[in-house]
Structure 1
Amino acid sequence: MNAMSDWSLVIHGGAGSIERHRLTEEQDSGARAGLTLALGVGSAILRDGGDALDAVEAAVRVLEEDTHFNAGRGAAFSSDGSIELDAAIMDGRTRAAGSVAGITATRSPVGLARRVMEASPHVLLSGDGAERFAREQGLATAEPGWFETTERRRQLDEMLARNVDAFDVDMKYGTVGAVARDRAGHLAAATSTGGVTGKRWGRIGDSPLIGAGTHADDRSSAVSCTGSGEFFIRIGVGHEIAARIRMLGEGPQIAADAVMAEVRALGGTGGVIVTGPHGEAIWSFTTPGMYRARATAAGVREVAVYGDE
């Protein structure tokens, strides 16, 4: 996938213990349908000459509305039964970025992250302050019940029944994200998540942290991550991939594989999606599967779930 392409889009819906025997037929087909829809929405923007930034936001918004994924509606429950959402977006042209953490009422966390980037002097807003900003900006809200699904509640109840201090160590219900290169050669990345099932104390993972779970720089790459957030934070995965490409001259696939090997060596698991200045559209993951899809101007169109696809 390293051939030159004048636009490219890669999306993910999380990496983890995603195996054929673990997913029902409905879960498999539903996830593929969601990825296909998000890929189509983002690709249409790029095909028509639109911005990478608009494409990644639009693709992630689709996945936030889809209950098959752990972002927005269908997000994972914290240990206390609440839902706290995180998101980020970054523009590779200027390295402008916006992110939010601990969101509970804004319907599209990635939409709020973009507004933070464009309409505030800050990069990262959290909790009540972020929600106040969202209201001032007139963004759509939703009652807490709108984000909840019975399947995610069951997952929390099952986990707590085994161990009151448990959390989703297998990272089965992952983050969503998108990276793109547009026809003007600009890159962008966006990520959105409900975190991990059973998280406590207002835990924040890598997704809203610029340079860790989300990163874009026209000089090197656009990256969105999913997996064991604590390890991605410690390594600074998004920036590390970019640095290898820019400083060492590595291709996106080689850089991504090297950094994911580093994550694994520390004890973490997960995956990344990456695009580069030449329209490369790649992924790298160390888990049994990753919900993923990609499309390019060169005619590539692929949707996959399991590691052997």
Structure 2
Amino acid sequence: MKFTWIVFLCFLSVNVLAQKTGRPVSRVVLVIHGGAGVLERGKLDPLREREALDALNRALDKGYSILDSGGSALDAVEQVVRVLEDDPSFNAGRGAVFTAEGRHELDASIMNGKTLAAGAVAGVTTIRNPISAARAVMEKSPHVMLAGRGAEEFARLQGLQQVDNAYFSVEDRRKSWQQQRRRDSLATLKDSSGKKTSSILAPGEKFGTVGAVALDANGNLAAATSTGGMSNKKFGRIGDSPLIGAGTYADNKTAAISCTGWGEYFIRLVIAKSVCDRMELGHESLEKAADILINEKLPALGGDGGLIAVDKDGNIAMPFSTPGMFRGYLRRDATGMQRQVAIYKE
């Protein structure tokens, strides 16, 4: 009931604004995700579910406040992801999963669809908001990606907030990491006996990479993604999230994409860029291109996950091949406002 009233009031305010100003209402679109994974209906703790949905709504509010005031899609996606990085409900920023060494290594990327400028950081351990470091790489360096200590030093020189690595730790992730370590230990024993095993992603242990895509009133697109990576990861493993074209992509000619899921497979399929290429070269709709990549190509290789996307015309896609994906969207145009947050395939 509360959500229904929110939607009605948003619709009313948009139309009142149009009547008062006499100007057509510009279209703005914001789509966000908090990760795809093995989230079976009824098995997620009700408090945790409510906290995650509340965080998604706060992120939508933040992004819309920027877009509604004429701000850029780039500003909106950065600030949305910062909200989600600061919330322990997700595997990004505070709340990131633990590595095999019991630490946190964070990745993030951002892309401007108007200019194709992009920035990313990988394997950072002391930057409170990696997405802002990624934007700094894009705008204040000649590079696209910086990693590890070099990225941290660059962020420090840019005046970005630094924290102790323990800042990212939350107890739920610690418990999950300890369970993952036990499973990985058992899997190693099975491997030594000659039995095939795959425990890299255990059911119920895929916490949410976060991301946002937006279309602003000037018709510009942007995308951003941030993650703590894979639980119990070793050897400085990097997934798709900081890789432009794999986990993040934006081009005003086609769409803005942010991915979440089993990164190794997203990298092999270059999923974010592939969606845009199918649209531009194959003349497929956003919905069709995204669905083929997520529900056909990805499972065919053995991977799973999802993505969020908005195209240059304001169309939205949010496909996922897992039981659930934390997600939400907000779209405003001349017909009014649409807004929703969800987890399951409702």
Residue 302 of structure 1: aligned partner: 340
Residue 37 of structure 2: aligned partner: 16
Q: How does 1:184-203 map to 2 (within 5 A)?
A: 184-203=218-237
2:105 aligned residue (76, 81, 84): 84
Choose 1 or 2 for highest CA Rg.
2
**1:5 Cα deviation after fit:** 7.3
**1:163 Cα deviation after fit:** 2.8
Q: Indicate whether 1:183 and 2:212 are aligned.
A: no
Instruction: Judge conservation of contact 1:105–1:131 (CA < 8 Å) in 2.
Output: yes
Residue 119 of structure 1: aligned partner: 140
Residue 26 of structure 1: aligned partner: 47
2:163 aligned residue (130, 142, 145): 142
Q: SS of 1:14's equivalent?
A: strand
**1:225 Cα deviation after fit:** 0.1
Matched letter for residue 287 of structure 1:
T
The Cα RMSD (Å) is 1.3
Q: Indicate whether 1:54 and 2:75 are aligned.
A: yes
Identity of aligned pairs, percent? 50
CA distance in 1 between counterparts of 2:95 and 2:250 reads 27
Per-residue CA deviations over 1:265-285 (Å, capped at 9, x if unaligned) read: 111000000001011122110
Greater mean deviation of Cα atoms: 32-41 or 168-177: 168-177
Q: SS of 1:287's equivalent?
A: coil
CA distance in 1 between counterparts of 2:50 and 2:306 reads 21
**1:120 Cα deviation after fit:** 0.4
Q: Indicate whether 1:152 and 2:173 are aligned.
A: yes
Instruction: Judge conservation of contact 1:271–1:283 (CA < 8 Å) in 2.
Output: yes
Instruction: Judge conservation of contact 1:74–1:149 (CA < 8 Å) in 2.
Output: yes
Matched letter for residue 6 of structure 1:
R
Q: SS of 1:297's equivalent?
A: strand
2:245 aligned residue (196, 200, 211): 211
Instruction: Judge conservation of contact 1:168–1:198 (CA < 8 Å) in 2.
Output: no
Instruction: Judge conservation of contact 1:47–1:297 (CA < 8 Å) in 2.
Output: no
Matched letter for residue 44 of structure 2:
L
CA distance in 2 between counterparts of 1:46 and 1:209 reads 26
CA distance in 2 between counterparts of 1:45 and 1:280 reads 20
Residue 324 of structure 2: aligned partner: 289
**1:188 Cα deviation after fit:** 0.2
Q: Indicate whether 1:229 and 2:267 are aligned.
A: no
Q: TM-score, normalised on structure 2?
A: 0.86
Residue 248 of structure 1: aligned partner: 282
CA distance in 2 between counterparts of 1:250 and 1:184 reads 24
The verdict on how the C-alpha distance between 1:5 and 1:267 changes in structure 2, with shifts beyond 3 A counting, is farther
Q: TM-score, normalised on structure 1?
A: 0.96
Per-residue CA deviations over 1:50-95 (Å, capped at 9, x if unaligned) read: 1000000010000000000000000011111010000000000010
Q: Which stretches in structure 1 are left out of the alignment for 5+ residues? A: none
Q: SS of 1:285's equivalent?
A: coil
Residue 86 of structure 2: aligned partner: 65
Q: Indicate whether 1:270 and 2:270 are aligned.
A: no
CA distance in 1 between counterparts of 2:171 and 2:332 reads 39
Matched letter for residue 168 of structure 1:
L
Matched letter for residue 339 of structure 2:
R
CA distance in 2 between counterparts of 1:40 and 1:76 reads 26
Matched letter for residue 32 of structure 1:
L
Q: SS of 2:246's equivalent?
A: coil
**1:44 Cα deviation after fit:** 1.4
Greater helix share, structure number: 2
Q: SS of 2:74's equivalent?
A: helix
CA distance in 2 between counterparts of 1:255 and 1:120 reads 33
Instruction: Judge conservation of contact 2:180–2:202 (CA < 8 Å) in 1.
Output: no
CA distance in 1 between counterparts of 2:287 and 2:178 reads 39
Q: SS of 1:192's equivalent?
A: strand
Instruction: Judge conservation of contact 1:31–1:68 (CA < 8 Å) in 2.
Output: yes
**1:161 Cα deviation after fit:** 2.0
Q: Which runs of 4+ in 1 moved over 6 A?
A: none
